[in-house]
Structure 1
Amino acid sequence: MISNFTKKIIGLRIKTMVYFSLGSHFDWDFSKKEMTLTNNYHNWNLAFVMSSGTYYPILMTIHLIERLYAEDGIGSGAAIGSYVIGWAENLTVTILFGFQYRVMQYREHVVFLINQLFLYSKKIEDLLAEKDIQLHRSHVRVIRTAESLMLFTAVVSLFIPFGFGVSFCNKLEPTHILVKELLEVDVQMSLQHFPFILFITLVVSCSANAVFLIIMTGICNYTLAHICITSLTPISVEQRITLRHKEHHHSKPMIEYLVTTENFGNMDDTTLLEMYKIQLLFNKILNAFIASMLVTFHHIICLIVFVFFTFVVIRYSDVIFNAGIIVIGAVIISIVAALNAQLFEAEVSGNLYEASNGFVEKVRKLTSRKSRAHKCVLSCPTITFQMAYPFFTVDKHTFVQFVHQGLDFLATLLLM
């Protein structure tokens, strides 16, 4: 279930959006333990996102292209490393602002989905308490893992903007170079340049908030769906009713079942399928949000970062390793982050698909073909995370395909 600790993390993180950023469409009610929606900063945030998300990547791209075609070239190894990081920042900023714009578009959906997940989780907890049933140890591990991931995401998304603001003062940082050459301002850690540092911190903070909301929604949905579906999977099925209407002698019989589940005890097949359909509804709402190309584009970003940085490490290893510890760390972290992001998504979506498919198969095998439960479960789709549906669905094969495509592109670049 979605634990109180997880809700507390979400609540505190959302409150930081309200008090330590340019404003937020979201707030948190600690008394009700639910998200609320506010439109106080809608127009300002929309203009800010569109302007920052448009002009910064364009300016960075133009600047890098100009340096590539300059007569004196890019410069020293340190400068090359700086521009390598610049390309990564450019790609990252583009996708971050895409996330933020998507969250602003679907803010009502995000609030509705999260609060409904909380409400459904509470009903499941009440059902377990009523029947005095304890969750399986594997389910407890899922809850603890979700708490750890939520805490990690909240802390990282909170402190990365401040880290970016501090790095903005580094003379090799691409944004620093861009501001210095275009505005002729050499940003330093001083009170005089504090407005520049504050501005870039707030820009990244707004995007980090949107990323947290997306990951938060995914973690809550996965936790509840995985626990409920595996708990709903029947252990045994007993035929209970075979007549639809006792007063009608000529009516066709209707087969109903008493289902024994692992964690929810005994229930009729109607209740079982209703609970599964609720999970399908949650998944449908989530997929309507992540089906956007703005969200799906992060897979392409991960592929580009993995291929480009691996190519740079192999082809220009001497230059990179002489550029300093900051450049080396940034390159390695970029490669590892791209791989881990794809692996995590593939594992999460794959596990949820397997649980959903196992539920459908078990109900299908344990029920008669003529029964309502059998026909209903065959009409129910499996639960998956669908990116840019119907063109792209994330599953356990996604990571293998990602690595395969990445190595193909990398080999092509090395042979050129």
Structure 2
Amino acid sequence: MQIQKPRGTYDLLPGEIELWQAFEKNVRRHFHVAHYTEIRTPIFEHTELFVRGVGETTDIVEKEMYNFVDRGNRSLTLRPEGTAGVVRAYVENKRYGKVDLDKLYYLGPMFRYERPQGGRTRQFYQYGCEVLGSNAPELDAEVVQLSYRILADFGLQHLQVELNSVGCSVCRPLHRDEMLALVLPRQEEFCSDCQRRMEKNPLRMFDCKHENCQRLLTELQVPSIAERLCAECAEHFATVQEHLTAMSVPYQLNGKLVRGLDYYTRTAWEVTTEGSSTLAGGGRYNGLIKELGGPDIPGIGFAGGMERVIQLAVEQQVYVPVSDSIDVYVAVADASASLPATELVAALRAEGIATERDFNGKSLKSQLKTADRLHAQWVLLLGEQEVAKGVVGMKSLASGEQMDVPADKVVATIINSLKKERASQ
């Protein structure tokens, strides 16, 4: 019986992977120019990390984590998101004593058990960043701008930033009390998830996807947290907006945006596009590092799902120049030239020249067809005659020009020819 891939996973095949690689290159370039460095954390962590770091009331912890018990009877979890692992690494390695401001980014697979659908899979890829060590609103604006610019510069259209502040330990409790006073008398009318959230984190009721719950919140005139910010949070939020405007980031305020994670404080945002779900989102989390055993250091970050980006890029017909060509094809006319061809291919590749050869004993005519299909710029011909003379036949597929070059000069000749061709482009 044929074994198939697990539900909610997929294969990335040649012809598809190139678009992913182009986006990954775009992500790395943006983080590099903004002076972020890469971090790689384990794909599985202790389950407690996500319970404490993501939040007990989140859908991720309650419904979506891949948990397993190892042979040492330890509960482990395939990482469902990136922030908790990065913060754990920051605390465990005491990076807070080594750098004033740690600007970190990551790319890699995450895992959540949810219903597979368009742009949503059980193994999915995220890119994101965490900046640890500053509470400056200017930093919030930088990270928001970065989350937007990565997508805009990839060519995606109609992008919009949805922006909110979810307050702090001063204004959140007051808002919580006011909110509970309004919703508790009608508790039974809300969904079971919202009833649990009333006990642990009522603010996340604004994140509920049930239309009835949203209707009830409107009917009861429950104020958004943005309407109840303390003076310090309000000032912080106003400064974030000023700097986003200065950077020409298109944003709109959304008082109901609270994101799906418990650890957010103050700035929270999502990057969306017309007719699409969220492409990226993030927020500030000033209490998370302390919650995970570190000092009381502020942090902020965002993450984006690569599947949705790629899907939208295809829908919007984003043009990404992807080169599938090679520089040189070494054509072998007969078996006597096989060893010299191997030496020549190795010498060319050692110089960074993209080179291919035949391994299936094809005829010379078929090899030339293959070279044409691979868009090779040059074909190097090796046969019994060339080996005996100590030369290599060199043919340009573009012009048809052909000449014999001494075998010990052919690599240098190819290098010079490619330099001239690239300089003229």
More strand by share: 2
**Common topology (TM > 0.5):** no
More helix by share: 1
TM class, shorter-chain normalised? under 0.3
Larger Rg: 2
